Chains A and B, each alone.
Chain A
Amino acid sequence: MTDDTRTPAVRLESISKRFGDVVANDDIDLSVEQGTVHALVGENGSGKTTLMSVLYGLYDQDSGTISIDGEQRTFDSPRDAMDAGVGMIHQHFQLVEPMTVMQNIVLGHEPTENGLVNASAARGEVEEICSRYGFEVDQHLDTPVRDLDLGVRQRVEIVKSLYRGADILILDEPTAVLTPQEVNRLLDVMEDLTAAGRSLIFITHKLGEALAVADGITVLRDGEAVGTVNAAETSEQELARMMVDQEILSDRRSRETESGDPVLEVDGLRVRGNRGLEQVRGIDITVRESEILGIAGVQGNGQSELVGALAGGRSPESGTVQFRGEDITGMNRRRRIEAGIAYIPEDRQTQGLVQDYDLVHNALLGNQTISPYASRGFLDWGAVRDHAEGIVRDYDVQPPNPSAKAGSLSGGNQQKFIVGREIEHDPDVMIASHPTRGVDIGSIESIHDRLVALRDEGLAIVVVSSKLDEIQQLSDRIAVMYEGEFIDTVDPTNVTEEELGLLMAGRDPDAEDETAEPSGAQA
């Protein structure tokens, strides 16, 4: 940051926030200068939203202080924060869809006269805000929100905050729902706002956008602030490397077997994400017997959607997925499970486990139509219990009690249980999405050992991870995913972290030097 004697608009000092035994924010400092855009970048779960919820009065911090314009404040509710001039634009808009734009903007802050809403006064004020910032919201004031595009709705949210007197605006992943044109429009609006003296905090995991619009950038990882950099003096590559975990683990696993026949063949795959935007944009890949394909990339570049289309449960727009030569593009998840496609899901809390079930019931999840747990539609709970006990024992799940509710386990132990259950499936294909997320180092090693052992037994394995070392250590081939495409496929023995970092940021290092293996290199 430049040597500025002005008081920062926002100053967070040593903010810590825990949820149970999960540390969401660990001693974070953040300082936002007046009239600037400060980007907060980091992967999902790195603590960005928690930090902003503390600033916005949604959560109480466990320790640390908040200062607004140099004055220390405590916020017990969003209303306190709003009174201090802090507004937040949530990722999911907080608009009442059947009500008009005007009604939404004044909702809760209606100017009243003798107890009645003075509509014309409110309208004048809103129109003035719109014209000052060039929002094209004016012509929609009497339109119900449900009839508006997402980009316009977002501007309505911004006008709403400004109407309530916000000088500091928090934008929580505002570009996630927008088309590229709308994103550009939003970035323009953000510049206009700072030009008028407002201060913005811009939460994103899209590095290009952060670089384009922000003045300062703070990177969060696993609840810690890894560093704050000046946007003019950094690069996507540096940010990408700061964002991803780089714990040093043991060396790359040696390879004892050769890859065999193709098991999974993906051709021209295009998949839409939850918000209807195309997240996978034409992927071709083959995974062979006895091979681990690593998919690297900054989160949100289409990995989840690709995995969904491979494991089943998300149907592609176009393209095909073949399993041992058979087209399974339209096959539902259950038949894929029965065919031997195991899947360690990205989200263990909502997908991988039923939180209210004990481990015995969870051991059946996904196995409920498979022998020996089920025969002719009837369940053998004895076999399921044995299975659960086996997983708990072999994968060192703590507490070692199959009757414990899944929700009572720590994240790492939940993950070990899921990994165990999926491996014990005796699959032909293993799709592992962030298989060691939140797991302690010792267990990471043991999960890695098991994945390698599966590879040596002949399985075709896909590992998606944002940990570079994990990808490099496990993979026989690395495909780097950027904005829905494989930007390159590289040989892990022949690529440096720097080169991977460049690829993850969407640049082809081949253009600059020739050390990386060309695409398609494989044993």
Chain B
Amino acid sequence: MSDAGSSRDSGLLDRIAARLLDASVLERLAIAIASTGLALLIGLVIVAAAGYDAIQFLGYVLEGSFGDSSAISRTLKFTTLFILTGVAVAIAFRAGIFNIGVQGQFVVGGFTTVISILWLAPMVPEGTVGGIILLLFGFLAAAVAGGAYAAFPGALKAYTNTNEIITTIMLNFIAIGAVGWLVEGPFRGEGQAAANTERIPEYVSLPQIVYDVPDFSIVGLAVALVVAILISVVLVRTSFGYDIVTSGYQESAAAYAGVDAKRMIVVTMTISGMVAGIAGAIFAIMIQGYYSNPGGIATYGYDAIAVSLLAANNPIGAIPAGLLFGGLDSATSYIGLSSNIPPELIDGIVGLVVLFVAAPELFRMAARRTGLGGDDR
């Protein structure tokens, strides 16, 4: 009887859902920008209410994200990871699959990169050529590992009808726990004080072209941009992408058009995991140079859900969305170091941005899934 009762009570919800489903791309962009502004504004009020100078705080945010070249390179470092993980989430969402396991795939991919580079390093010559070979090998290993780690819950969903949200979340914990144990024990580098793996050789690194900082390379950002564009082209311009997106919109129509729904779930999850794995490789090579206990690694894979929602699950949209999140993250670490304002306030503002910007997108997806706002969509 439950759905009997709610269908009558949901008139208002139904209208809101219908309105959200009808919003055009431009309207959605406007909603995103306005929500970001509003979230920042409310954030400033909270900062002021907490007894800090709101204007000074705004200054710190801008300075810390785009103020000088070190701020910009830090912002772009985070942006790179947010774009890739955001794209990973977006691919799955477009196919109607909720891959919440990007963090786990990111960890598995990054760890595999380090391990495979360390394994292959003695067998190739040192220097630039060897470095390039090891880099490519590391990226490949990350894509394979991340893809396989996502294919597993995909297959569970496709063939045993297991809810992918639950399995991917559980696999995140498993990945973090298992990799954590591996870096504590079997793969702990010699002479490492902390629970870290051996460092990968110095010559295995992404080249510094623009900014001379140890943990950002423009090449990493370029990889992220290329992946975002590539995935976008696949989704929009290929038969395969049409199959994915059609499955996400209306599975029964996709089946009518000859799409094998089960296979599509596994393939989509695999691609999503491959992109997450590549994000993990960039994190391992560009930022760390070794692998540490993933319990202490930032939750890019979870934040990516917000990035993807902010981008309306559009891979190209993940670029500006990633930049926004990268900037806010960068400002957080700057404020933590150079002022007495608690950086948690920034986290709060990021939370508000997510709430304001991503929530309408989340409601759109929920409305489509539940048939609110009219069944004929």
Contact = CB atoms under 8 A, between A and B. Distances in A.
Interface of A: 56-58, 76-79, 94, 108, 312-313, 332-337, 343, 345, 347, 349-357, 361, 364-366, 368-369, 374, 377-379, 381, 407
Contacts of A350: 250, 252-253
Contacts of B2: 94
A352 B257 CA distance: 8
A345 B376 contact: no
B5 interface: yes
Contacts of B3: 94
Contacts of A355: 250, 376-377
Contacts of A337: 257-258
A174 B202 CA distance: 72
Q: Which 7 A-B pairs have the closest CB atoms?
A: A334-B258, A351-B256, A78-B4, A366-B257, A333-B258, A350-B252, A368-B239
Size category, B interface? 20 to 34
B239 A379 contact: yes
B8 A58 contact: yes
A495 B156 CA distance: 54
A333 B259 CA distance: 8
A438 to B, nearest CB: 14
Contacts of A336: 258
Given A58-B7, A354-B250, A354-B253, A407 B377 contact: yes
Contact of B253 (A94, A332, A352, A381): A352
Contacts of A379: 237-239, 242
Contacts of B240: 377
A351 B8 CA distance: 27
Contacts of A312: 258
B376 A333 contact: no
5 contacts: A337-B258, A353-B253, A356-B368, A379-B237, A379-B239
A356 B238 CA distance: 19
B290 to A, nearest CB: 40
A313 B238 contact: no
Given A58-B4, A350-B250, A345 B256 contact: yes
B242 to A, nearest CB: 5
Contact of B259 (A334, A343, A381, A407): A334
A119 B178 CA distance: 47
A77 B255 contact: no
Interface of B: 1-5, 7-8, 21, 237-240, 242-243, 246, 249-250, 252-253, 255-260, 368, 374, 376-377
A323 to B, nearest CB: 15
A333 B21 CA distance: 31
Contacts of A374: 239
B256 A378 contact: no
Given A58-B4, A368-B242, A351 B253 contact: yes
B250 A369 contact: no
A77 B377 CA distance: 25
B256 A313 contact: yes
Contacts of B8: 57-58, 76-77
A76 B5 CA distance: 10
A335 B259 CA distance: 10
Contacts of A361: 242
Contacts of B238: 377-379
Nearest to B256: A351
A354 B258 contact: no
Contact of A407 (B4, B246, B258, B376): B376
A101 B256 CA distance: 39
Given A78-B4, A349-B376, A365 B253 contact: yes
Nearest to B376: A407
Contacts of B243: 368
A366 B376 contact: no
A77 B253 contact: no
B237 A313 contact: no
Given A352-B256, A355-B250, A374-B239, 7 more contacts: A57-B8, A108-B1, A333-B256, A352-B253, A353-B253, A369-B239, A378-B238
Contacts of A354: 246, 249-250, 253
A334 B257 CA distance: 7
Nearest to B242: A368
Most buried by A among B2, B242, B377: B242
Nearest to A349: B376
Contacts of A334: 258-260
A379 B5 CA distance: 45
A365 B5 contact: no
Contacts of B7: 58
B58 to A, nearest CB: 40
